[in-house]
Structure 1
C-alpha cells in the first residue's frame, strides 16, 4: 500500500477533510447534512460522497503524482464551462477537489452504439475547443508530450529502466531494452505522420471511457467530461486508444466493426475544420501507436513517491506500455 493511501485511512486526515469541506460549503451557503461516505479508492485517488442540503457533492483527493489534476480541471472548466465539471473548491497543495453531482455517468446506462457516438463526439468537441488554451493549461500544471519528443522519450525510458539494478521493480534486462529499441524507427514514423498532419496538440484525456462522461439530461445538453488525472497536452487522437479497447469489449468486435467506426467518425467530425473524417482517419493509427508512452509517463509519475511494496505491486503498469510500444506491428 502506498503511503498516501495509508494517509487517506487515518482519522486525523478525515477530520481535516471535513473541516475543509465545511468551509467550502459555507462559501456557497450550503450545509453538510451528514457524514461523508467512501465512494471508491485506488492508488490514484480516493473519493467521498458528501450529503448537503443542496444535494450530493463529491470530494476527491489525488495521489502526489497527480496533484496537477485539481488546478488543471479548474482551469479547463473555466475555459469550456459547458463541457467539464467545474469544481466548487480545490486545494492544489493537497490535491483536493470538491465538485457538484451531475447524475449518472454513461457507464451506468445500457451500452449502445449511440452512447459511444455521443461520448466520443463530446470528447472531440472538448479537445477542439481547448486547442488555443495550451498556455493556460500548462501554467495549471499539465505536462506536454509533443509527438516531436516521443522518440527521445521512448529512448530515455528504455535507458532509465535498463540502468536500474536487476532486482529493482522497474528494472529491465539490457537485452530486453535492446529488443524494444528496435521499434524506435516505427515510432519515429508514427510521430512523423502526426507532426505532418493538420491536427494541433490539445488535451489528451489519457483514460477516456463512458465512466468519464456524465449522462446529459436532454439531447441539447453537452455531456460533461471528468477525471483529468491521466491527461497530457499531446496529440489528441491518442485519446482514442482506451475507447476503442472498451468498445471492442462492449461489442465483442474487432476495431473495424461498423459500430466502432461510427463512434470514431463522430469524434473526427468534431475536427471538421481540419479535414473530413475520411481524411483524418489516417492519423488514428499512428496516434494509437504512440499512446502507450502517455500511459507509461502517467504511471511513472504516479509511482515517483511510492514505497517498495507499492512499486512491487504496480511496476507492471509502468513496464507494460513499453512492451506494447516495442511491438513490431503498428
Structure 2
C-alpha cells in the first residue's frame, strides 16, 4: 500500500524549485496532449502555491501543498476513483511532492449564488457531497494508512489534549493567542469533550472523508452537477463535522439568525443520505455533537496548514487559538445563541 512520505524542505520562490515544478507541469500536459500557451498566474498561501496555467485546451491548475497538507494529492486521486462524478479527475499527481494538476472546474457555487441566491442550490449540492462521503466509508482506514489525517471521534479527544500542549500554535498570553484563563478553561473541558466524542462514536455512524472547509467557494456548479474541491483541510472523521463550516458560512453570507429554519432545512437535506440506516433523532443528535466538537478539528486543520516558516504564517497565527475558542460558541443551529 502506498504511503505518503514527508516532503523535503521546499522554497516555492526559488528558481530551482520553480524550474523543476514547471518541467513537471509541461511533461504532464504533454502526456495529456496539451501545451502551455502563456504565462502562469501564481497565488501563494502558507499552505499551498497555485498556478493558473493557460493551455491550448483551456486553463489548468497546478497546486503544490506544504508538508502539512501533502495528503491532498493522494486524497483527490482516491476520490476520483470512488466518486468520479463528484470531484475533478486530476490530470496528474505527485503524492511524494504534494503536487497536483487539475482541469478547470469553471463556475463555482459562489459565482452562481451571486447571480441567484436561492438556497435550493445548497439543497442540491449537499446530497451530492453526502454521497461522496458515503462512497469513501469503505476506504476510510486505507486513506488513514496512506497519510490522510485521522480525526475520527475515537482519537479526537487525544488529539485535543496533544494540541493543548502545543504552545507554539496556541500562543498563550500573546495578543493573537489564547488568554491564560481561556487556556485553563479548555484544559478543564477535556473530560467533557472526551465523553462527547465517545457518545458520537457510540452512535455508530461510520467515519468518512470530511472536507472541513466546505463553503460555496469550494464547490463547482456546472451543467454536469456539483463537484467538490480544495481538500487540503480534509481528514478521515465523523462525516457530519462538515456542517460546522458549511452552516456557519451560509449563515454569515445570508445574515441569518442562529437557529433559522433554513439552516435546519439544509442540515436535513444533507442528512437524508443516511436515513435508510438511522432514524432522524439519531442523525440530529450526531449532527449536533459533530458540530459541537468541530472547532478542535478546524484547529488541527489550521495547524497542518501553517506547517511552514514563521515569517510566512504570521498573518494567520490567530487561526488555531481562534478556532479553539469557538469550542464554547453556540451552534449555528442553536436558536438561543
Alignment of 1:1-330 (within 5 A): 7-38=11-42, 40-110=43-113, 111-161=117-167, 176-217=182-223, 221-277=224-280, 279-307=282-310, 309-325=311-327, 327=328
Cα distance change of structure 1 residues 105 and 248 upon mapping to structure 2, 3 Å threshold:
same
Contact 2:47 2:306 in 1 (8 A): no
Residue-by-residue CA offset, 1:39-89 (whole Å, 9 max, x unaligned): x33222122111222222111111221111111111221122111112111
Q: Which moved more, 1:225-234 or 1:85-94?
A: 85-94
Cα distance change of structure 1 residues 25 and 171 upon mapping to structure 2, 3 Å threshold:
same
Provide the TM-score with structure 2 as the length reference.
0.86
Contact 1:269 1:276 in 2 (8 A): no
Provide the secondary structure at the position in 2 that maps to 1:289: helix
Provide the secondary structure at the position in 2 that maps to 1:273: coil
Contact 1:159 1:177 in 2 (8 A): no
Could you tell me how far 1:117 is from its partner in structure 2? 1.0
Contact 1:201 1:234 in 2 (8 A): yes
Runs (4+) of structure 1 exceeding 6 A deviation are 162-171
State how far apart, in whole Å, the 2-side matches of 1:153 and 1:164 are: 14
Residue-by-residue CA offset, 1:228-280 (whole Å, 9 max, x unaligned): 10011011101111111111112211242222222111110111222244541
Contact 2:66 2:308 in 1 (8 A): no
Instruction: Count matched residues.
Output: 321
Q: Which moved more, 1:146-155 or 1:107-116?
A: 146-155
State how far apart, in whole Å, the 1-side matches of 2:112 and 2:181 are: 47
State how far apart, in whole Å, the 2-side matches of 1:329 and 1:84 are: 32
Residue-by-residue CA offset, 1:139-167 (whole Å, 9 max, x unaligned): 33101112122222222222333999968
Kindly report the root-mean-square deviation, in angstroms, between the aligned alpha carbons of the 2 structures.
2.8
Q: Which moved more, 1:88-97 or 1:309-318?
A: 309-318
Contact 2:72 2:98 in 1 (8 A): yes
Specify every segment of 5 or more residues in structure 1 that has no aligned partner in the other structure, as ranges: none
Provide the secondary structure at the position in 2 that maps to 1:182: helix
Q: Which moved more, 1:207-216 or 1:8-17?
A: 8-17
